[in-house]
């Protein structure tokens, strides 16, 4: 890479790329998200927001193609009219720089993330959960067994990004390949201690082995659904009432660099995990407090987010009922993937927030184990 974007050269790059003009600089507002390697820039005169992404230069992945994968997916969806719904979920791409692994896309100025909505409003409207469930169902049903999608996504088979679920015996490999060198130096003892706990918990390890080895690969999946990657219009409540056209969604989903020919249960499971995380992160966690007591002290009880979990799942099934015929164990897998996603969350925290990961470790692993090994307990909710 010839260019490493930072606060000093970011605006100059935008000017050179003809994205912005020099006169715009004073009015631009910039936010940076270090965990997802992009800047969010608010344009002047309510013209929208720019997302400027670049792969971290310390990335240890060999031939890291995440940015180019995302760019190619956008082009692929735009060029296939039979995938209009999937295409409607993506944002407008303004610029791609392959040599520097930079991608710039634009979102409407009135867009907000689902994460920020929930955090600011402190409520979980059922209609939003239903909208997300139906959106994922339409994405999966439109691309199910699509030969064109399969052929396209098969190009990335060698990149090891085609399905980002760490096989049990390779959790340590996953950690080493993902954690940046400087972070690894700081968190090595903590992260390896967690991996040791995972490897020694035989029942969890065996179920995860079975889950990963027998996953269904049958449609286009985002593969890393999180609430901060889901954009909704700020006036979504009015638009939902007017929504008639099934060919388009109110929702936009960003960060498709991990897209895969994968298991639809993984996407829905990761979406459900978002609600579990609101519950888990509202708990008081301390070594002197037992896990069951922490659960009782949650300021956002499970009962508060449970209706959204149920609504999202029902909306998915109602939109795509055939999934239960073709994939009888679908709902069980959804819950198990939510549990595996919680392990991912912990690995990510070890990378970027090691002290938080240390405090979350026991609670997260306890709940993850329940979701993975006893999914039927949660299916009853």
Contact 160, 170 (CB under 8 A): no
pLDDT of residue 360: 87
Distances (CA, A) of 196 to 189, 273, 287, 342: 11, 24, 19, 17
Q: What is the pLDDT of residues 283-321, one digit of tens each?
A: 988 878 898 898 999 999 999 999 999 999 999 999 999
Q: Is 60 in a helix, a strand, or coil? A: coil
pLDDT of residue 118: 97
> Looking at the predicted structure, is the pLDDT value of residue 233 above 80?
yes
Nearest to residue 104, comparing CAs of 36, 227, 14? 14
Contact 10, 52 (CB under 8 A): yes
- 100-130 in b/e burial notation, b at 16+ Cβ within 10 A? bbbbbbbbeeebbbbbebbeeeeebbeebbb
> Looking at the predicted structure, is the pLDDT value of residue 184 above 70?
no
Least confident of 53-67, 97-111, 327-341, 348-362: 53-67
Nearest to residue 38, comparing CAs of 76, 91, 117, 88? 91
219: enclosing H helix or E strand:
strand 219-221
pLDDT of residue 207: 87
Please report, for the chain, the start and end positions of each structural domain, with discontinuous segments joined by +: 111-165+215-328
Contact 81, 115 (CB under 8 A): no
Which alpha helices (DSSP H) does 27-158 contain, by range? 66-78, 84-88, 114-121, 126-143, 147-154
| DSSP tag of 50 | E
> Looking at the predicted structure, is the pLDDT value of residue 381 above 90?
no
Query: What is the chain's alpha carbon radius of gyration, rounded to the nearest angstrom?
Result: 21
pLDDT of residue 162: 38
Q: What is the pLDDT of residues 72-102, one digit of tens each?
A: 999 999 999 899 999 999 999 999 999 999 9
Range among 14-23, 151-160, 227-236 rated most confident: 227-236
> Looking at the predicted structure, is the pLDDT value of residue 163 above 50?
no
- 211-239 in b/e burial notation, b at 16+ Cβ within 10 A? bbeebeebbbbbbbbbbbbbbbbeebeee
> Looking at the predicted structure, is the pLDDT value of residue 167 above 70?
no
Instruction: Say which residues have a Cβ less than 8 Å from residue 252's Cβ, sequence separation at least 6.
Output: 89, 90, 91, 107, 111, 230, 231, 232
Q: How confident is the model at residue 171 (pLDDT cuts 50, 70, 90)?
A: very low
pLDDT of residue 265: 96
Return the higher-pLDDT residue of 236 and 23.
236
CA distance 135 to 121: 22
């Amino acid at each position: 890479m010839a260019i490493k974007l930072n606060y000093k050269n970011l605006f100059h790059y935008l000017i050179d790329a003809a994205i912005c003009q020099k006169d715009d600089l004073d009015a631009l507002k910039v936010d940076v998200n270090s965990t997802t390697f992009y800047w969010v820039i608010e344009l002047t005169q309510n013209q929208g927001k720019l997302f400027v992404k670049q792969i971290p230069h310390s990335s240890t992945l060999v031939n890291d193609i995440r940015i180019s994968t995302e760019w190619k997916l956008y082009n692929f969806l735009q060029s296939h009219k039979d995938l209009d719904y999937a295409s409607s979920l993506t944002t407008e791409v303004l610029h791609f720089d392959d040599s520097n692994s930079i991608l710039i896309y634009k979102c409407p100025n009135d867009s907000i993330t689902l994460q920020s909505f929930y955090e600011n409003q402190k409520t979980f409207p059922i209609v939003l959960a239903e909208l997300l469930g139906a959106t994922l169902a339409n994405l999966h049903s439109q691309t199910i067994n699509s030969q064109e999608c399969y052929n396209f996504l098969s190009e990335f088979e060698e990149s090891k990004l085609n399905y980002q679920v760490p096989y049990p015996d390779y959790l340590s490999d996953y950690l080493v390949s993902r954690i940046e060198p400087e972070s690894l130096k700081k968190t090595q003892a903590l992260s390896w201690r967690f991996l040791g706990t995972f490897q020694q918990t035989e029942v969890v390890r065996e179920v995860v082995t079975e889950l990963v080895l027998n996953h269904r690969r049958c449609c286009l999946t985002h593969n890393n659904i999180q609430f901060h990657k889901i954009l909704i219009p700020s006036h979504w409540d009015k638009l939902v009432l007017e929504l008639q056209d099934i060919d388009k969604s109110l929702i936009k989903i960003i960060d498709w660099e991990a897209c895969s020919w994968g298991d639809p249960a993984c996407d829905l499971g990761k979406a459900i995990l978002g609600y579990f995380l609101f519950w888990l992160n509202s708990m008081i966690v301390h070594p002197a407090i037992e896990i069951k007591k922490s659960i009782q002290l949650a300021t956002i009880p499970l009962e508060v987010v449970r209706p959204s979990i149920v609504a999202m799942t029902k909306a998915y099934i109602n939109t795509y009922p055939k999934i239960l015929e073709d994939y009888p164990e679908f709902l069980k897998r959804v819950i198990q993937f939510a549990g595996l996603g919680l392990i991912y969350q912990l690995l990510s925290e070890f990378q970027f927030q090691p002290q938080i990961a240390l405090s979350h470790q026991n609670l997260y692993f306890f709940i993850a184990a329940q979701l993975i090994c006893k999914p039927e307990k949660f299916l009853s909710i």
